[in-house]
Chains A and B, each alone.
Chain A
Amino acid sequence: MSLKGSWSSLTGARVVVRLVACAWLVSALAACNGQEQREEERARRARQMRDVSRMLDAMEADKTPTASQSVPTAPLFPPHSSTAIAANDDPSLPLLATLAIAVAGGLAVPALATFAWRRRKRLFGRRRNASSGRPPATDPPRTPASVTHLDRATVPPAWVYRGSSFETPPIQVADNPVNLLMLPVATAPPARGDRWETCVRQARALPRQEADARLAHAENEARAILDDADDHARPELLAQWMRIRLARAERLSGATRLFALRELVAAVEGDPAAADPVVIDARIEAQLAWASSMRGDAAAARLAEAERLCTLLTGGDSRSAALALRRKGRVFLQRAELVGGREALADLERAQACFDEAHTLSPDAETALLVARTALQRARSLSPADAADACAHALVHAFLAEQDTNCRVEALACRLDIQLAYATLALDDHGHAGVTTSLGRDLEAAGPLAPGARAVLAEACLREGNHAKAADLCESIWNDGGAQPKVLDLWRNACHRWGDIDGHDRQALARSLRLLAIARSTL
């Protein structure tokens, strides 16, 4: 018993010794830890551990996809104290660490080993609790606000469309700039032929951004000169400034253009030079441009104002009188477009009378072209007998206009249009086909054609049996944003007749039909 008691005592003594040793070691660890808590050492160690942590993160990223995927969702909250404590709960940890201290006599190696072991344990725990949203204790804290702001600011919402063969081509979605300035240079008074007008004309051929920059520069320059000008030079400069502003406005769209036109008209009305004929002419242009952007009563009000200004424009010499008549005729033309039906014909008659008188007073090519176009427009609304007379009147003036090189292409297109209209009136077809073919060839050779001229050429091609070319021309008009119902009808007829031809290009016809369907559905 005593032996047993001795063994018991011995065993008990060993236990006590072990306990004392453990207590000593724990005390030693505590002492070491106490030393480690010194500020410099702790900061240095924290940096080392963070660096090692990042290295291990990088090394383990490829091996642990689950863990890496959960990282972005995890750090929604700052580290919690209980989380840090939980990582130290293993009772063997102080003992191992203490023994390592005792044996190695240092801290670096066991610390790294311990850290690696703790980290592995933590990563394992994180994988199991990936949805808990708790961050690892060593991760830098991120506030919810910063995370939210960052994510919202940098990650765009997923709105991705995939292209397909049925996708609408982007060409026709752009509204082409509207030509708000009334007439090309030949109709303008001589004083207009200056560098600003050249600038406006050149800007029309440029891309939007570049044109706007150039026009803005010209406007500023004109404005600066206008502000320093004396009373004698002011009207001409003011009119020029207005035309530059109009050229800028024609590049705008929708309400923006409307605001610009309204602002322009208001800016000039109070000017002392507003009553000068040159400025009145520019004001008429602005009113007509404004009316072209409006419909119904609003457009009628703008046209009424333009007509009133025309009465102020009438001067003593024949040139001024001709200019006033041309402007008035233009008002009637726009009014005819607005009202339609029988009233339109009455306005066309008034416009015709104005242009005829203007041509008598000042027989230039542009006025002759206006006479020809208006007569042709009338011919389409008249009885066959009257229409033939109107066509003859138009043809004479188209020939006159063709003599001017600046008007040649437009006059040729007008002649072809007249020929087509006249051919529908004639009882026989004798000689018309040859004239149409010849005119079409001349027009095509004349150079790049405006959409209106291409529409006339397309109709001529259709009548001559060149259906594929007619369809191509209609498509090009649509691509340029100039497709009206009449052009689409022409296109449809061309495709219809094209398909009736034996051995036609099926692929080309199918493509043209598909684009026509898009054009019609988006009218």
Chain B
Amino acid sequence: MPPLIGTTPPFWPTRYGIAAAVAADDPVTRSLQIYGEWAEHETILLSGLIEEGHTVLEFGGDFAAHALWMSHIVGPTGEVHIAEPRRIRFQQACANVAINGLGNVFTHPVWLGRDQRSATLNTMTRTDGTDTHEMIRIVTVDSLRLDALHLLKVNQPHALADMLAGATETVRTHRPLIYARLSGLDTAQAEVDAIKALGYRAWSHVPYLFNSDNHAGVETNIFPGMVQQNVIAAPADSRFEFAERLEL
């Protein structure tokens, strides 16, 4: 068996801790490596929404890049749950959690869907060909039986609608804020409709991938003009109001 030459990257000092990641062609790893942070504009918004003692569930680990800061915000009385179905990415997220000593972060090697079964990755989302036939385990958010949930953050594309279908009881009980990256033109409307069907109001959030005030102080923009099309949603009867944003 040839040596796994790609599995020995260096550790990177990032804004919220030490990180290491595989897949050097991934935007997350590129950003962590060059800028010492990933999607900081998401952090700017979300850090005003969660506080000490909160529970956060994040689907799509992003190498635990955001779990690093969320863990510190929720503190020892809060919890951060990461669901990452892909094997190597899950292991890398676990490694980053471990080397930063984040005792309140819980990792789950699962895909969050509408029912419980197994499937190959390419049947759930678009893949780049390297892990097309990787078998993944699908569970529902309800099956996690979380004691509390204040923020549901969805990074994984092509997963939001199915995930919400499997989270009806959790959403009804805890009424969390929902922050999700929309998957694309063909699915965005269905995803927003799925959120609204739960009795939520939704607003647009379009953060730039490049943060000129990045941790490493690098001025070169490797993501020029590139934004994410995200949605922030709050229960219609809550006191959250994002008047400065476009309501969807």
Contact = CB atoms under 8 A, between A and B. Distances in A.
Interface of A: 144-145, 148-149, 152, 157, 159, 161, 163, 166-168, 170, 173-175, 208-209, 253-259, 293-301, 338-340, 484-485, 521-523
A50 to B, nearest CB: 29
Interface stretch (B45-53, B76-84, B99-107, B194-202): B45-53
B222 A159 contact: yes
A295 B240 contact: yes
A123 B37 CA distance: 49
Contacts of B227: 522
Interface residues of B, number: 45
A300 B49 CA distance: 12
Contacts, number: 102
Interface string B187-230: 00000000000000000101010111100010001111101000
A255 B73 CA distance: 8
Contacts of B208: 168, 173, 522
Given A148-B5, A254-B43, A523 B246 contact: yes
B238 A170 contact: no
18 contacts: A152-B8, A166-B225, A168-B225, A174-B211, A174-B212, A175-B44, A253-B43, A255-B72, A257-B47, A258-B73, A259-B73, A294-B51, A295-B49, A296-B240, A297-B239, A300-B239, A339-B239, A484-B244
Nearest to B26: A157
B49 A208 contact: no
For the residues of A in contact with B, the DSSP-based class is helix
A159 B221 CA distance: 11
Contacts of A296: 49, 234, 238-240
Contacts of A157: 24-25, 30
B142 interface: no
B69 interface: yes
B241 interface: yes
B12 interface: no
A259 B72 contact: yes
B174 interface: no
B245 interface: yes
A52 B50 CA distance: 69
A509 B234 CA distance: 38
Q: Which of B6, B222, B239 has the most CB of A within 10 A?
A: B239
Q: Which of A161, A166, A293 has the most CB of B within 10 A?
A: A161
Nearest to A144: B3
B243 interface: yes
Nearest to A300: B239
A340 B243 contact: yes
Contacts of A340: 241, 243
Contact of B223 (A161, A166, A295): A161
Contacts of B24: 157
Contact of A173 (B47, B49, B212): B212
Given A157-B30, A297-B239, A522-B227, A258 B47 contact: yes
A170 B210 CA distance: 9
Contacts of A174: 211-213
B40 interface: yes
Contacts of B206: 521-523
B158 interface: no
Nearest to B24: A157
B217 A209 contact: yes
Nearest to A483: B244
